[in-house]
């Protein structure tokens, strides 16, 4: 049977060692099954650890356990001041560009094989004292499925085990359920959008909400004035269920639409009172809300939607 390659071995104290820096006179063990490993160093082959194939250990379990130990080690060395914080390379929620984000200082330790309240075992838990902040899952062959993802119930990321072994200081999430991140360019556009929308809101005599009602810019189809329009979580277009949060912006009204042939809650122009139809606002590529799903009512979804609306406003020439 083919020997199992062990990328990093542990000594009797549980410390990880690479084959390049190992001492041939010392004993080393497989991090997965604790079997003794052989350090192979020669003139031709690259130095490596190995042990015989067995029924209780596989290449997958070796990579999985080694990656978990490296996550724990990288966090421990950072908190002890012996290295810098692990860096997450995440995608901007808007444009998809890579954002390098150090692990936040509030993380105090990483604990392997952490049992959650529902009985599920997480690969690694990131803790502040005894408070569970987030989870790190390691993929070797099988990814976290939707059932497990839902049961984790806290923010989590999934990392590739082999990539971690090659570079434990840089974490590249395959699955990212942490709070969304926004790149500098998109943040800059959002700030410009906020300045512009405050000016328009003032001219419209409208107060900008801080939750629930997303807001965007458009020109009234009839009087051509620049106006603020609103979106809110609802089921489909032309919805006749009243928006749930009071007070409503004054230009959201229950009106009869000749185009639809029914009454529904609509945006109206504060200057000429004409209806600004849902189809244009949500379904046309140059509509202000074409870029959002507008389904969730959470702080995170509210903030994310506003940034998407801002970037879309720039793309269609409103900024």
Question: Which region among 147-151, 222-226, 230-234, 311-315 has the lowest average model confidence (pLDDT)?
Answer: 147-151
Mean pLDDT (the chain, rounded): 92
| pLDDT value of residue 43 | 60
Closest by CA position to 214, among listed 137, 280, 136, 297 = 297
Distance CA(109)–CA(136), nearest Å, equals 12
Q: What Cα–Cα distance (Å) separates residue 119 from each residue in 116, 125, 126, 144, 201? A: 5, 14, 17, 16, 51
Distance CA(177)–CA(184), nearest Å, equals 20
Q: What Cα–Cα distance (Å) separates residue 37 from each residue in 8, 28, 73? A: 10, 6, 21
The residue-averaged pLDDT of 74-79 equals 96
CA atoms in the 13 A half-sphere facing the CB of 119: 0
Domain boundaries, the chain: 4-57, 63-176, 184-315
Comparing 91 with 240, the larger pLDDT belongs to 91
Task: For the sheet with 252-257, list strands across it.
Answer: 252-257, 262-268, 275-276
Evaluate if residue 1 carries a pLDDT over 60.
no
Kindly report the number of other CB atoms within 10 A of residue 312's CB atom.
24
Distance CA(227)–CA(203), nearest Å, equals 8
Alpha helices in 111-183 (DSSP H): 146-152, 161-166
| pLDDT value of residue 204 | 96
Structure tokens belonging to residue 297:
């009512």
Most distant CA atoms of the chain, gap in Å = 88
The residue-averaged pLDDT of 236-248 equals 89
Please give the share of the chain, as a percent, with pLDDT higher than 90: 77
Evaluate if residue 284 carries a pLDDT over 60.
yes
pLDDT band, very low/low/confident/very high, at 44 (cuts 50, 70, 90): low
List all residues 6 or more positions away from 232 whose beta carbon is below 8 Å from its beta carbon.
212, 213, 214, 243, 244, 245, 294
pLDDT band, very low/low/confident/very high, at 42 (cuts 50, 70, 90): low
Give residue-wise pLDDT tens across range 121-169. 999 999 999 999 999 999 998 888 888 888 888 999 999 999 999 999 9
The answer to whether 225 and 271 are in contact (CB under 8 A) is yes
């Amino acid at each position: 049977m083919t020997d199992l390659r062990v990328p990093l071995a542990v000594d009797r104290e549980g410390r990880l060692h690479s084959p390049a820096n190992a001492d041939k006179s010392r004993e080393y063990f497989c991090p997965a099954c604790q079997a003794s490993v052989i350090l192979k160093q020669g003139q031709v082959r690259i130095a490596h650890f190995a042990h015989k194939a067995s029924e209780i250990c596989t290449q997958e379990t070796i990579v999985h356990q080694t990656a978990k130990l490296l996550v724990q080690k990288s966090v421990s060395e950072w908190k002890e001041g012996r290295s810098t914080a692990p860096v997450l390379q995440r995608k901007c929620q808007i444009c998809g560009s890579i954002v390098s984000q150090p692990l936040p200082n509030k993380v105090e330790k990483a604990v392997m094989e952490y049992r959650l309240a529902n009985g599920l075992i997480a690969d690694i838990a990131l803790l502040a004292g005894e408070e569970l902040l987030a989870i790190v899952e390691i993929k070797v062959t099988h990814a976290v499925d939707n059932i497990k993802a839902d049961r984790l119930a806290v923010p989590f990321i999934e990392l590739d085990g082999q990539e971690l072994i090659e570079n434990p200081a840089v974490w590249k999430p395959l699955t990212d359920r942490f709070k969304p991140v926004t790149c500098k360019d998109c943040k800059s556009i959002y700030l410009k959008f906020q300045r512009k929308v405050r000016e328009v809101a003032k001219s419209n005599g409208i107060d900008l909400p801080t939750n629930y009602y997303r807001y965007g810019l458009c020109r009234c189809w009839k009087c051509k004035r620049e106006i603020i329009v609103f979106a809110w979580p609802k089921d489909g277009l032309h919805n006749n269920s009243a928006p749930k949060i009071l007070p409503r912006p004054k230009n959201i009204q229950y009106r009869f639409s000749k185009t639809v042939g029914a009454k529904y809650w609509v945006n109206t122009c504060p200057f000429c009172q004409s209806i600004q139809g849902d189809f244009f606002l949500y379904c046309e590529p140059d509509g202000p809300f074409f870029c959002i799903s507008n389904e969730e009512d959470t702080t995170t979804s509210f903030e994310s939607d506003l940034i998407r609306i801002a970037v879309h406003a720039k793309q269609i020439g409103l900024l």
